[in-house]
Structure 1
Amino acid sequence: MGAIDFTDAQQALGFVRPQFFNIERNIYEVKYPSFDYAELVPVVTEGNEWARGTLFTSIDAAGKAEFISGKGFDMPYADVSRSQFTKGFALAGVGFEWSLEELQTAAMEGINLSDTKARAARRVGEQFCWNLAMTGKPDGATSQKGWTGAVNDPSVPTTTAAATGTGSATTFPTKTPDLILADANAALTGVITSTNEVESADTLLLPTSRYLYLSSTPRSSTSDTTVLQYLQQNNVYTARTGRPLTIRGIRALETAGAGGTKRMVAYRRDPEVLRFHLPMPHRFLPPFQKSSMAWEVAGILRTGGTEVRLPSAMAYVDNI
């Protein structure tokens, strides 16, 4: 391949654009399981990607039926109450750049530009969304927008694990397998009873350390089943519905509880209950020459973070 005159903008653009489109196509084929927030929080991409936010109405029924006289005028009525809520969207971005040296070297050697930087930008963007979905903190430490996530929403009912461990402790390692199973099922039962059997939690999230503990702790000294395996097969949700309970371990729960304690979360995984607003998933814009020695590829996304719409269909249990 002959040398390209990168002082000629059109000629340079003719080299950069095909490189970019090939890289972009490859990047979106890559999956990052460690940041798969969609597995835990339903992702909603509906609506205009440039909308300021979303507005929804919550409706609740009120009233009760009563015995009446056949000639009475005291007919009881049912009514509905309506509440409106809004959730704003915000623009975020992470991109990458190519230097003049990288472009010239690739052109001279007749090779494609490396997609390493694009992969890094894509991965950072996924991590950003994962942090937002879980805690509302894009960097894992601070909430720049005042948002919360699936594991720390203040509207969700919160309790402390039963003090049934050694010395009235509440943590799993201080308890027998039977007591641990009782705690997990109590979280699931809490959602059912607090909603008058309207809701059932189909997902149980544990801190990664506790998940690993349950997966390596025998159900009993004479059993070849772990506590986790037993819980998977014998739990309130499965007994009630005949469907398997989803149990996952996530690092965001290690310090999510009150006082930085470990938290367990039980909830129904459905966009009716909670959702992650992503009207514009992360994408790259066409490259442009930002200086005499650098080409930039901007990567942008718009999100509203996690929104809990039915907090009663969730339950937090702290200090496990």
Structure 2
Amino acid sequence: MQPFIDAQSAVGFVTPAFYNIERTVYQRKYPSFDYASLIPVVTEGSPWGRGVLFRSSDIAGKAEFLSGKGFDMPYADVTRDQFLKGFELAGIGYEWSLEEINVAALEGRQLGPEKGEAARKVAEQMLWNIGMTGTTEKNWTGLINDPNVAATTATADGTGSSALWANKTPDQILRDINAALTGIFTGTNEVEMADTLLLPSARYLSISTVARSSTSDRTILSYLQENNVYTAETGRPLTIRGLRNLATAGGGGTARMIAYRRDPEVLRFHLPMPHQFLPPFQKSSMTWEVAGIMRTGGTEIRLPKAFAYVDGI
């Protein structure tokens, strides 16, 4: 085999390898950063748009009794608000050296997908972190720390007046959970109802193994899945997930429980440009670079009253 003298002479070998690697990388999934299962991901619109503009409206007015000859007709009106969510560019890529290219060609193999897979995984990890907690650099918050969502503290009636589930009975734990679900329903005049419950991973594992009672062969979790206010009202299963980020998300670093309606109307993760690789280019006399870019606006909670944070569990 004739060795490649410089990066430019390697173009015929690098370019086909790049497209093969790109296909391989995007076939690989990373469940540990599966933010899409918790937050509806919206990819609509131009990937290069500055952001998204949306409007909300509400009705105002009150019907009243009138005199048959009255002139004081009450009127209805509509209030309108406008909101803008900006998008930002981020990136993570990789590079090949002339040495790596020549070694691969000498051995008669394609360049491996390891670097591309690493870049892809790092990108997904960044999006996961933004989705969960936002970023201070852009002044964004996320799913678990939005200041517009009302946060309450769990009832402190466990052993020693503790709010911790470790010091509570199964009945008290179930009451805390259903109180969070019911609070959203009653707090919105029965308009909103949470269909998703997120618990700190340790709390989730605990209720999945602790018996409902000393005489029951069911766990707290299995009982909850069939006996909760959402399922009772709708006949549909309540989604219950463990989330490691909630261990210290509450006030004072306490554990936080989240109940919410998982719907794009309520919240969304803006991803107008999912992570993608650009064609490789010659970066220097001995290096090829493959840039990876993405654009996101992070998590946006549009209807905070369809959410509940409960701390101290």
Which TM-score band (shorter chain)? Answer: over 0.9
Match of 2:287 among 284, 291, 294: 294
Match of 1:103 among 77, 101, 104: 101
SS at match of 2:208: helix
Alignment map for 1:232-311 (pairs within 5 Å): 232-311=225-304
1:90 aligns with 2:81: no
CA contact (8 A) 2:277 2:291 kept: yes
Alignment map for 1:79-228 (pairs within 5 Å): 79-137=77-135, 143-228=136-221
CA contact (8 A) 1:3 1:107 kept: no
Q: CA deviation at 1:8?
A: 6.5
Q: Distance in 2 between matches of 1:64 and 1:29?
A: 57
What is the aligned-residue identity percentage?
68
Where structure 2 has 5 or more consecutive residues not aligned to the other structure, the ranges are: none
Q: Distance in 2 between matches of 1:217 and 1:231?
A: 12
Alignment correspondent of 2:50: 52
Q: Distance in 1 between matches of 2:179 and 2:27?
A: 41
Deviates further, 144-153 or 73-82: 73-82
Q: Distance in 1 between matches of 2:34 and 2:92?
A: 18
Q: CA deviation at 1:126?
A: 0.5
Where structure 1 has 5 or more consecutive residues not aligned to the other structure, the ranges are: 138-142
Q: Distance in 2 between matches of 1:22 and 1:70?
A: 80
SS at match of 1:54: strand
Q: Distance in 1 between matches of 2:261 and 2:205?
A: 23
Q: CA deviation at 1:288?
A: 1.0
Query: TM-score, normalised to structure 2's length?
Result: 0.98
Q: Distance in 2 between matches of 1:172 and 1:77?
A: 51
Q: CA deviation at 1:70?
A: 3.5
Alignment map for 1:58-77 (pairs within 5 Å): 58-77=56-75
Q: CA deviation at 1:100?
A: 1.4
SS at match of 2:27: coil
Query: TM-score, normalised to structure 1's length?
Result: 0.95
Q: Distance in 2 between matches of 1:274 and 1:71?
A: 49
Q: Distance in 1 between matches of 2:98 and 2:116?
A: 17
CA contact (8 A) 2:59 2:78 kept: yes
Q: CA deviation at 1:25?
A: 0.4
Root-mean-square deviation (Å): 1.1
Alignment correspondent of 1:34: 32
Q: Distance in 2 between matches of 1:318 and 1:190?
A: 14
Q: CA deviation at 1:80?
A: 1.2
Pair 1:151–1:31, CA change in 2 (3 A): same
Alignment correspondent of 2:20: 22
